[in-house]
Structure 1
Amino acid sequence: MPTTQTHIALTETADSATAGAELGQAIRAAFNGMPADAVIVFASAQHDYDALLQALANEAGTQVIAGSSSAGEFTNSGRGEGQVSALGIRNSDMKFAVGLGQGVSENAQTAARQLVEGFRGIGSSAPNHHSALVMTDALAGHTDALVEELTLQTQGDYRFFGGGAGDDGQFQATHVFAGARSYNNAVSALEILSTKPIGIGVSHGWEPASDGMRVTEAQGTHLIGLNGAPALEAIREYARSTGQELDTSDPLPFFLHNVLGIRSAGGYRLRVPLSIGENGSIQCAAAVPEGSVVHIMKTDAQSAVRAAQQATESALRALAGNKPAAALVFDCVATRLRLGRAFENELQACANLLEPAGFVGCNTYGQIARAEGQFGGFHNCTAVVCVLPE
């Protein structure tokens, strides 16, 4: 008999307290009136997060809640924007705890230290599989440093998955959830201690389309110089040579199809350009390290589907023979915007591989993955899949 009970829920209800109550009631009913051990929730920026979370906690019977605001919500049976998706979990062989770190923009190291103070498995070997869902305010920056610091703070014993909170593509203010409250400029986590392995997979499906270019000047997410010239000059020359239109007054349509890939030993870590700044600089969704080599990357809709399949297959293999109970799926808001309705094909590819298990997920501002044998760290335009065992 499976030891993991899960329930997947999605609501379009606009009133936040009502939406939270609906989700909590559905989860509790699925568990025959018993409270959930933990709930993971993703909510559109249209919601009053605290009202939603408090109602959810009351009805689901738990304060062990984590998640974030999002930029598109989905399950294996539906997707949309302006919704709330949730996963309720009960498992006597898993232990859960919520962590919270604040002030990410001021000091990522301190925020990571605060986060792991809520963990119960640090330095412990039982249960022997240590993982955590990590959701961060990506607009606060420093996500690469945050993931590295979390690895140090947990002595490399934890496997991380998750992403950057969204706000329906507005890029104004994003929030993470810890317990029945929401927080800005913060990072939250759901620690999962398990006697069985939890599967994590990551894949993006993009390949280099340009020669490598040295990042000669960068400040965080601002890409200033490539090969000694303003970054925009290299982007404009690539657009001209490939016959693409780059409207500098509205560059996002071009950027969504021509992201940057930072070359590394493990592959290409993607960064989405968002806008053009002063003196030909490019504002990116995440940091581009000075001195690194980047390529302009290309992909197509079929590659995105293959990437979702590969990430799901990797996560399933990591279960070491256990059957899947439910999964969490994350992909970039840029992927949804680029693919449009075809994004549903990517979700369907995940659903086909996971059946009869389902999944909950959202579109994020960047994705987090750190696990054995995976290309780890902070990504853009990348599918990240986590599978919980039965």
Structure 2
Amino acid sequence: MQTPHRWFGAGHSTAADSGKAGAEAAASAINGRTPEVVFVFCSDHHDLPALLLGVRAEAGREATVVGATTLGELAYDGVSDGGVSVAALGGAGFTVRTRVAHIRDVGHRQAGAEAAEAMAGLSDPHSVLILLADGFSGDPHEVVRGAYSVLGAAVPLVGGFAGGTPQVQRTFQFHDDTVFEDAVIGVALGSDGPIGIGVAHGWHRLEPPMIVTRSSGGTIFELDDEPALDVLLRRGGQAPKQTDPHTFVSIGLSRRNGEDIRVLNDADEIERTVGSLADVPQGALCWVMDGDPAALIAGAADSCAEALEGLGGRAPLGVLAFDCAGRRSKLGLDGMQQEMAAMRDVLGGTPYAGFYTTAEIARVRGALGTHHLTLVTLALA
């Protein structure tokens, strides 16, 4: 969509040829205009350099190209597994600056802090830092904490952790024509129009609650003073396996505004521990969480509605969406299509693009900002 001086477009392709897929999706998003930034979300099964060349052919030499590999792509016309979803925006009303940081060189927290330096000197009336980060290197919460250590509470954070083939445990991030691993891409976006952020999930508690009596980082050793895996199995769960994304267990950590969801995606059957990619604080009150498809679809609608509410009555130009792959596993193919339909019902004709993540980022208030099993939406007016 377009105002006199700002525009946002989205495109989607399922073409098998990587160069063609990138060019098709980018052409649909750009539509002959001059973009400031192009977001590319695609499967790691593609030839990534070839796909980026296809995008660049449509974007022109001056546009900044950023993106990440996915666990599925989402767009206004539906979802794909093995495709590419592109969003592009431009016009005098947007300012874009970027920074690439390498986790392997400096660690997760410092990489988040360095990526946040993209915000330096940005003076637009409204701004947000979008983070696209490696999804399999561990400690995603440290990336967000690093960004927060630089920006504080003044700048909202949104984004997602990249996905890829679970058995390979590699994800990729893009900046211009380069493909990175183990990186954090920071995209500072300034706008003369409002920015809205939505965060919702649709999961509910299974009583009774539990206490995390011993944990370190994302590893839970004990729940209610018993081996964590034994407690979860007794509660009707299953032992999660890192190589099988369908075996995860979800827990909700008590927060003042509801539950902060964590995915338990690994278990040690000898040590009887369970693990998450994000930290689970010792002493936290938590619940096993469950969600029927109808509730998860309603959560998607709630996220979009919250993002639009943040625009203060202004019409949305476009939306970026970061949706957890765990929601996809729970919904199935029919449920994913229904989720997209629910988003379209709320957004009307507003274009949107995004991807299924290994974890989501949304920090609007407080210092925390890493989420699982959640849909995060960023609306631009």
Q: TM-score, normalised by structure 1?
A: 0.89
2:157 to 151, 160, 163: 160
Please state whether the residue corresponding to 2:327 is helix, strand or coil.
helix
Offset of residue 254 of structure 1? 7.8
CA distance in 2, matches of 1:105, 1:260: 32
Q: Deviations over 1:162-206 (max 9, x none)?
A: 111001444610122222212111111221101111110001111
Paired residue for 2:143? Answer: 146
Please state whether the residue corresponding to 2:376 is helix, strand or coil.
strand
Offset of residue 2 of structure 1? 4.2
Paired residue for 1:274? Answer: 265
Offset of residue 25 of structure 1? 3.6
Aligned residue-pair number? 376
Offset of residue 156 of structure 1? 2.6
1:234 aligns with 2:231: yes
Paired residue for 1:87? Answer: 87
Please state whether the residue corresponding to 1:82 is helix, strand or coil.
coil
Paired residue for 2:169? Answer: 172
Paired residue for 1:196? Answer: 193
Q: Cα gap change, 1:248/1:44 in structure 2, threshold over 3 Å: closer, same or farther?
A: closer
Offset of residue 369 of structure 1? 0.5
CA distance in 1, matches of 2:196, 2:36: 20
1:69 aligns with 2:69: yes
Q: Cα gap change, 1:135/1:247 in structure 2, threshold over 3 Å: closer, same or farther?
A: closer
Paired residue for 2:251? Answer: 260
Instruction: State the identity as a percent.
Output: 26
1:344 aligns with 2:337: yes
Offset of residue 249 of structure 1? 8.4
Counterpart of 2:46 in structure 1: which amino acid?
H
Query: After alignment, is 288-297 or 167-176 more displaced?
Result: 167-176
Q: Cα gap change, 1:308/1:225 in structure 2, threshold over 3 Å: closer, same or farther?
A: same
| 1:130–1:157 contact (8 Å) kept in structure 2 | no
Q: Deviations over 1:21-57 (max 9, x none)?
A: 33344444x13xx431110110101012233223312
Paired residue for 2:209? Answer: 212
| 2:263–2:276 contact (8 Å) kept in structure 1 | yes
Q: Cα gap change, 1:82/1:205 in structure 2, threshold over 3 Å: closer, same or farther?
A: same
Q: Cα gap change, 1:387/1:117 in structure 2, threshold over 3 Å: closer, same or farther?
A: same
Counterpart of 2:354 in structure 1: which amino acid?
G
Paired residue for 1:23? Answer: 25
Q: Cα gap change, 1:288/1:136 in structure 2, threshold over 3 Å: closer, same or farther?
A: same
| 1:43–1:84 contact (8 Å) kept in structure 2 | yes
Paired residue for 2:54? Answer: 55
1:112-131 maps to which residues of 2 (within 5 A)?
112-121=112-121, 124=122, 126-131=123-128
| 1:71–1:169 contact (8 Å) kept in structure 2 | no
Paired residue for 1:383? Answer: 375
Q: Deviations over 1:50-104 (max 9, x none)?
A: 3322331232114411221000112111211000000111221110112211126
Q: Cα gap change, 1:106/1:139 in structure 2, threshold over 3 Å: closer, same or farther?
A: farther
| 2:71–2:164 contact (8 Å) kept in structure 1 | yes
CA distance in 2, matches of 1:171, 1:378: 23
5+ residue gaps, structure 2, are: none
Paired residue for 1:44? Answer: 43
Q: Deviations over 1:226-281 (max 9, x none)?
A: 12221111112111xxxx7x47889968854x511111223211111223213211
Paired residue for 2:286? Answer: 294
Q: TM-score, normalised by structure 2?
A: 0.91
Q: Deviations over 1:100-122 (max 9, x none)?
A: 1112685223212321333344x
CA distance in 1, matches of 2:154, 2:209: 35
CA distance in 1, matches of 2:201, 2:380: 21
Please state whether the residue corresponding to 2:278 is helix, strand or coil.
coil
Q: Cα gap change, 1:73/1:304 in structure 2, threshold over 3 Å: closer, same or farther?
A: same
Q: Cα gap change, 1:338/1:178 in structure 2, threshold over 3 Å: closer, same or farther?
A: same
Please state whether the residue corresponding to 2:118 is helix, strand or coil.
coil
Q: Cα gap change, 1:385/1:170 in structure 2, threshold over 3 Å: closer, same or farther?
A: farther
1:180-191 maps to which residues of 2 (within 5 A)?
180-191=177-188
5+ residue gaps, structure 1, are: none
Counterpart of 1:369 in structure 2: which amino acid?
A
Provide the aligned C-alpha RMSD in A: 2.4
Q: Cα gap change, 1:251/1:20 in structure 2, threshold over 3 Å: closer, same or farther?
A: closer
